[in-house]
Structure formats: structure tokens, C-alpha cells
Structure 1
Amino acid sequence: MRNDHDPHSVNFLIDEPGPDPRFGRVRADAPSIVWNGGMAVFALAAGPFFITPSAIILFFLTTGTALLLGHSVGYHRMMIHGSFAAPRWLTRTLVWFGAFVGMAGPLGIIRAHDTRDWAQRQADCHPFLAHRTHIVRDAWWQIYCRLDLDRAPRFDFSELDRDPFYRWLEATWRWQQLPVALAFFAIGGWGWVVWGVAARVAVANHGHWLVGHLAHNRGPQRWTVDAHGVQAFDVPWAAIPTMGEAWHNNHHAYPGSARIGLHPGQSDWGYVVIRLCERLGLMWDVQTPERLGQRAGLSEVARHEAGLAAHSAYGHTS
């Protein structure tokens, strides 16, 4: 649970003995197959027949807005990690944009994120939670299946359950696409529905899996977190489309930070928005590595490798 003494903690998961991230069964999940598969098939089948300049522009605008305001700033940095504070009207707006992405409701995204976060901090966990399997199988697992752990962790959603807005959004997150689709149809016809809803949702869900798979298997790496069974990597080519989320190695190092692109040249549009809102007085208590302080068990890869080399040389000469 959110811990004032540990700003890097897993925020909504109840830390207690008993849950085990190693054992469970991966099962096909009918709602995910219908939703994610249906959006993808509809977009692939109808997209070529309804492609227009305005539909393509709408696709990029709505996808970019949803990923920036919804997934990155609203869901991930604000709601899940509490890396900044904002007035209620703005937090609700950002969380709605999170549901607009079409990936999950607010409680569902927290449960999926925090389960994976908790599992990857253990010495070992199920391959589903570590993305530790063949890329094709991992795509099937992550997009169309669910993992039922034999001993799953519990969550404390009391903070969010008190707000009827979060309960309503959790119950209706898929239906949030309907009024959007109706508005798009009234303005631009079926082309706007196909590209502004189906293609957007399909790309967001499948793209989220792809970046997540790569970010736990290969790429540049500056940090390691001692005792964690799963380490993270950066996916530089995805920095702009993910609004900065692809600097995943930085995020594992400082999960409570509102800034994810920590080093020169690392694009982070999510943090740009947060800084702008902070200057306008719309966000405050913005957390960065400087405010969070040094994380226990965090090592820089270059220094770690240099230390190993020196130790090896010393051992050889002795």
C-alpha cells in the first residue's frame, strides 16, 4: 500500500505473507478476446475501405491524446504512482481519458499494474508476469488471456471506492467508447468510427504489450535494482509514441517519479505536460528523483560492471 516512508512502494497492493507470484494458470479470457480481437479485426477489415485524410488525422490526434493525458499522465503517473497532486475536476478528467484509451477501467489497470510490479520485485515470478516467454506466446498471453495465481495478492481500493466516479468508470469503461463513436459517426461517418475508435483501441492495446515485452527483455540499461528478479530496459524508439513511458529502466529505478525521461535527449511528453500544469498552478507536489531521494538497492550498471571487473582482476592477481 502507499507508504509515506517508502515512496517507491507498490501503492494499492496489501503487503502481507502468503501471496506467491510464481504459480498459477494462464487461461484464455473471453472478454479480452472479444474486445481486443474484435477491435483489431474490425480495424483491419474495414480500415482500408474507409481511409481518408481526416480519418487518419483523427486517429493520430485521438491516439496521442489518449496515451498522453490518459494512460501516461492520468492512469500511470497520477493514479497508480501518486507522483503529483491535482484538483478533483482535473484528476477525474485525466482518469476518464485513461478509460478512453480502451485498455481497462481504473481499478482493473491498478490491479494488473501492481500485481506485475509486486511480482517483478520478488526473486522469481511466473513467466506471464515477467514477459519471460517467446514473443508470440507472450502476445497471446498478455492481450487475450489472464493469469490466475494460486495465491494471489489482495488490494485495498478503499480510497477509490469512496468516489462514485471511479466505481462508475470501472463498471462502464468499455461503454465509454459508445458516445465517442456516435459523435464521430455524426461528424465523419464510418471512417471516423473505424479509425477514431477501433484502430485507436487496437493499436493502444497491442502496442502496450509490445513495448512492455521489449522493456523486460532487451535494450539499453543504466540501472539495476538489487534483489529484484526482473530488471527493466529502455525502448528508445518508442519514447515519443508512449509519451516517455518507454524509458522503462528509469521507471524501475524511480517508480514514484513524475519524470521518466531522466537523462539528456530522453523525450518525455508526459512530464512536459505535468511541468506546464505545475506552472499554471493546476498540479503540485510533483515528485522527481531529486525529491524522492536515493533508492535503497539501486545500482548503476556501468559502475556495477566496473566493480565486477576490478574484483575479477584483483582475484586473478592474488
Structure 2
Amino acid sequence: MLIGALVLGSMYFSWSAVAVFLALTAVTLCTGHSVGFHRRLVHRSFKCPKWLERTLVWSGAIVGMGGPLWTIRTHDTRDWAQRQPQCHDFLAHRHGLLKDGWWNLHCRLIFDNPPGFDPGPGIGDDPFYRFLERTWMLHQIPIGLALYLVGGMPWVAWGVFVRVASCTTMHWFISYFAHTHGPQSWLVDNAGVQAHDVPIAAIPTMGESWHNNHHAFPASARHGLYPGQADPGYRFIQLLEVLGLAWDVQTPANLPPRPGITAVSADAVKMLHALKP
């Protein structure tokens, strides 16, 4: 995908192709990666009809980073490791950009004694998710064919190759900074790796870059907790809620009190006071 993006993207540049790239990237990152994969499948931060959940998860698969079961396993392993007093450098992003990028984009960390993994009922035993897990790479083919029929090779180059390469690289890049640099409102007690917010990436990540907030309240569907923190993923969930397609949307205001976190900013202290009964 990266080679295709560099070669075909330059050969078949057009402004309409760039528009297709931007539109598909925004839709799949918001509905799929942020809402379908992360906020629904991993954290169950809201409820929705099964047909909608599967649609959102399919949108997450076509982002091009992995299947749904791999995503949950990777996410849960990383979260488990970062909460330990000591965390491997691979999962803590302790090296420079070049080495960390090579590790995370091209290597795999294998544990001698890995933690248990159970995606839970309705996920690991879901035949559609098992199908997506086996075939997630192939789903770029019908998308590419549809784009070719409408816009030719420029739309394929930018709507598939540039999009997948950009989303995959950006995900690692934001993850690197979200665990190494940036403002913090909360600290998780005894965690070997603390999270940071990456404000400049709030829009392209659909609110996922408010990662310090997310570490403090992982079950919350809302990541942008303070005024001015844009969170398009949460706004999309709110839209689903208005349409009657989402319910039991969890936020810090209706979640049980979270032990084991310490507020370290004025906004966080103010929020804690507001949450107290």
C-alpha cells in the first residue's frame, strides 16, 4: 500500500481523487475505526442494533489496519501492558520515531507468557466478524473496482492506496505521541505508561487523540471532555442517539466513580467536583 501510494498517487494525481481520499478517510475513520472498532467493539461504550454494529465494524475493517478480532487483541494487550509498573519498550514507544515506527509498523511483539484474550459473547463467536478477520485485506478490492468504474485510476490510487497507507501510518504516529508527548489532565496510578493528549490531531483522529482523557475514562463514549476539545466520533454517536440507533451512551457523568486516577489539571479537578453527588 505504501509503495502504491508513493508511485500511483504521484502518477494519477487529480483534485477529484484527493476529494475522494479525504471523504473516504473521514467516513471510515469516524464511523469505523473510532466508533465501530474502538468505542463500540472494544469498550462497549454505547449500545446499538446488531446490524448497525456490523456495518460500523465493516467500516473499521476497510480502514486497512486489521480485522476486528486482531484489533481487540492488540488493543487489550497494549492496555494491559501499559497499566503494569513495567512495560516493554515496543508498547511504551520509548525509542525515537524511526526505530519505533519500524517496530510498530513492521514487527510483532511475542510474549513468552501472554495474557488471556476473550473478545466476549457476540464478538468472538460472531460469524461475520470471523469472516472479516479472515478477509479484511480483500475488502479493498470491491472498493477499488467501484472507484475505478466512477473515477478511473486516480480514484483507485487515492481512494485505496493513499488512504490505507495514510491511515495506518497516522495511527502509529498519533499513538507514538499520545504515549510520549503532550498535555495531561490525569495520571493513572501505578501505570508504567501514561497517556497524553495530542490536540492538533483531534479532527483527523475523530477525537481519538484526547488519549489522556481516554486512559482516565476508558468506558466513556466521549473523549473530548472539556470545552474546545473537538470530538467528531462522539458527535456521530450523539447523532445515532437522536435517530434512535444508539442508547445507553456512557460518559463520565453517568459512569461509576473511577478509582485509581489523579487529576493534575484545573479542568480535571473542576470536572471531578462536578461529578461528585
TM-score, normalised relative to structure 1: 0.82
Q: Which residue of 2 aligns with 1:23?
A: none
**CA separation in 1, counterparts of 2:61 and 2:260?**
35
Cα deviation for residue 78 of structure 1 reads 0.3
Partner amino acid, structure 2, of 1:180? I
Q: Which residue of 2 aligns with 1:172?
A: 135
Deviation track 1:140-171 (CA, whole Å, cap 9, x = no partner) reads: 01111110111111211352232210110100
**CA separation in 2, counterparts of 1:161 and 1:114?**
14
Q: 5 Å matches for 1:196-215?
A: 196-215=159-178
Q: Quick check: 1:66 aligned with 2:9?
A: no
**CA separation in 2, counterparts of 1:302 and 1:155?**
35
Q: Which residue of 2 aligns with 1:89?
A: 51
TM-score, normalised relative to structure 2: 0.94
Partner amino acid, structure 2, of 1:83? S
**CA separation in 2, counterparts of 1:156 and 1:245?**
24
Q: Which residue of 1 aligns with 2:253?
A: 290
Q: Which residue of 1 aligns with 2:108?
A: 146
**CA separation in 2, counterparts of 1:239 and 1:228?**
24
SS class of match (1:114) = helix
Deviation track 1:194-244 (CA, whole Å, cap 9, x = no partner) reads: 100000000000000000000000101010011111100000000000000
Q: Which residue of 1 aligns with 2:264?
A: 301
Identity of aligned residues (%): 55
- Tell me whether 237-246 or 142-151 shows the greater mean CA deviation: 142-151
**CA separation in 2, counterparts of 1:293 and 1:161?**
27
Whichever of the two has the greater Rg, that structure is: 1
Q: Quick check: 1:112 aligned with 2:74?
A: yes
Structure 1's consecutive aligned runs of 4 or more residues displaced over 3 angstroms after TM superposition are none
Q: Quick check: 1:246 aligned with 2:209?
A: yes
Alignment check: 8 A CA contact 2:187 2:264 kept: yes
**CA separation in 1, counterparts of 2:257 and 2:50?**
31
Partner amino acid, structure 2, of 1:184? L
Q: Quick check: 1:219 aligned with 2:219?
A: no
**CA separation in 2, counterparts of 1:287 and 1:47?**
41
**CA separation in 2, counterparts of 1:270 and 1:123?**
31
Say how many residue pairs are matched: 266
**CA separation in 2, counterparts of 1:285 and 1:70?**
19
**CA separation in 2, counterparts of 1:215 and 1:79?**
21
Q: What value does the CA root-mean-square deviation take over the aligned residues? A: 1.2
* Structure showing the higher strand proportion among its residues: 1
Alignment check: 8 A CA contact 2:72 2:119 kept: no
Question: Which of 255, 262, 284 in structure 1 is aligned with 2:218?
Answer: 255
**CA separation in 1, counterparts of 2:129 and 2:17?**
31
Alignment check: 8 A CA contact 2:83 2:193 kept: yes
Alignment check: 8 A CA contact 2:184 2:264 kept: yes
Cα deviation for residue 302 of structure 1 reads 3.7
Q: Which runs of 5+ in 2 are unaligned?
A: 270-277
Cα deviation for residue 294 of structure 1 reads 2.3
Q: Which residue of 2 aligns with 1:45?
A: 7
- Tell me whether 67-76 or 43-52 shows the greater mean CA deviation: 43-52
Partner amino acid, structure 2, of 1:146? R
Partner amino acid, structure 2, of 1:43? A
SS class of match (1:173) = helix
Cα deviation for residue 193 of structure 1 reads 0.8
Cα deviation for residue 132 of structure 1 reads 1.3
**CA separation in 2, counterparts of 1:258 and 1:302?**
21
Cα deviation for residue 125 of structure 1 reads 1.1
Q: Quick check: 1:183 aligned with 2:183?
A: no
SS class of match (1:146) = coil
Alignment check: 8 A CA contact 2:69 2:124 kept: no
Cα deviation for residue 135 of structure 1 reads 1.4
Q: Which residue of 2 aligns with 1:129?
A: 91
**CA separation in 2, counterparts of 1:75 and 1:156?**
16
